[in-house]
Amino acid sequence: MKLGISNIAWQAKDRLKYYELLKREKFIGLEIAPKIFLYNHRNFLKPSKSKIKKNLNEIKKYNLQLISMQSLLYQSKDCHLFLNSKFRKNFENRIIEIIKLAGKLNIPNLVFGSPKNRIIPNGMSYAIAEKIALKIFRKLGKEAKKNNTVLSIETNPFEYGTNFLTNIHQTNRFVKKVNSQNIKMILDTGELIINKELNQIENILKKYLKYINHVHISQPYLKSAKNFKHLSKVFKFLKKSKYNNWVSIEMRNQKKNNYQKVKNSIKSLRKIVNLI
C-alpha cells in the first residue's frame, strides 16, 4: 500500500522538519495544497519553471513525490458550480488552471471537495443542478486527460456545508454518469464516519473500487486521531480488494503539539498497514 500525507497538516515555513519525518518513516507520497507547496511564488497558479524546479528538487532530497493536489479553489473569487452562468464560467476556468498546474507538476490526482462552491441554491432542482454539473465535469474530464491527471470528486457530507454529492453512493452515481476515465472519486474515511457508512466498507469497495482513484485517511472535520485502529477494517478491505493507488493522511494543522500529532498519525498508519 502506497502511503502519503497532505501538507495541509503544517505551515510552509515548517516544511523541512516534516519532510525529514516523512523520510525517516518511509512515507514517500506528498499530497499538496498548491499555496503551501508553492509558497515562494507570487501567483501559485502560474509558477515559473525555475521555481517549480527548485520546489521539486527540495522534496526530491527527502525521497518524496507529489501524489495529489487539494484546496483547488483556495483564494478563488466568484467561483461556483450552480449560482449563475458567470460564476460557473469562473469555476470552470479556475479548475482548468489547476488541471494545467497538475500537468506541469506531474500530479496524478486532484481532489475536488470545495463544499461551499457546490451548494445547490434555493429554487434549483437537483435534476437541473446535476445536468449543469455533468456538462462541466465532462469538459473538465477532457482537460484532465490532456494533462495526464484525474479529477477525483470528494464526497462532502451535509455537516461540511453543502447539499450536492453528500454521500459516497450519490458521488458514485454522478461519476458513472460523467463517464470519463479522468473523472473519478475519493474514498474519505471522515465522510464514512460522519455518514455512518464505515460498516459498509466491504460492499462499498466491491461496488465502487474501479471508480476510486485516491483514499483519504481522515477524521471528521480533519481533526487528529490518537491512532487509526478504528479504521483497521478499511485497510483490511483495501488490501483484499487489491487497491494499489495512494492512501494519504488528511488532517489540519492542529496548532498545539502539531508535530507530535502528525508523527503519531504517520506511525499509527504505518503500524496498521504492516500488520494487515
Residue 32 grid coordinates = 499538496
- Strand (E) or helix (H) holding 3: strand 2-6
pTM reported for the whole predicted model? 0.96
Interatomic CA distance for residues 276 and 50, integer angstroms: 43
Kindly tell me the burial class for residue 203, based on how many C-beta atoms sit within 10 Å of its own C-beta (0-12, 13-18, 19 or more): exposed
Residue-wise pLDDT tens digits, 73-123:
998 999 999 999 999 999 999 999 999 999 999 999 999 999 999 999 999
How many other C-beta atoms can be found within 10 angstroms of the C-beta atom of residue 38? 21
Percent residues over pLDDT 90 in the chain: 91
Tell me how far CA of residue 79 lies from CA of 91, 156, 158, 173, 212, in angstroms.
Answer: 4, 18, 20, 24, 26
pLDDT grade, residue 275 (50/70/90)? confident
Domains in the chain, number: 1
Give alpha helix (H) positions in 31-125: 34-37, 49-60, 85-105
Which of 69, 240, 88 lies closest to 151, judged by CA? 69
Indicate the SS3 state at residue 8. Answer: helix
Per-residue pLDDT at 9 exceeds 90: yes
Q: What is the mean pLDDT of residues 61-83?
A: 96
Residue-wise pLDDT tens digits, 183-235:
999 999 999 999 999 999 999 999 999 999 999 999 999 999 888 989 999 99
Q: Which residues contact 10 (CB under 8 A, 6 or more apart)?
A: 18, 36, 253, 258, 262
Interatomic CA distance for residues 61 and 20, integer angstroms: 9
Q: Which residues contact 226 (CB under 8 A, 6 or more apart)?
A: 264, 268
DSSP string, 217-239: E--GGG---S--GGGHHHHHHHH
Report yes or no: 221 and 253 within 8 Å, Cβ to Cβ. Answer: no
Report yes or no: 77 and 120 within 8 Å, Cβ to Cβ. Answer: no
Say which DSSP state 142 is in.
Answer: H
Q: Residue 177 sits in which domain range?
A: 2-275
Residue 257 sits in a domain whose CATH number is 3.20.20.150
Residue 95 grid coordinates = 479548475
Report yes or no: 43 and 75 within 8 Å, Cβ to Cβ. Answer: no
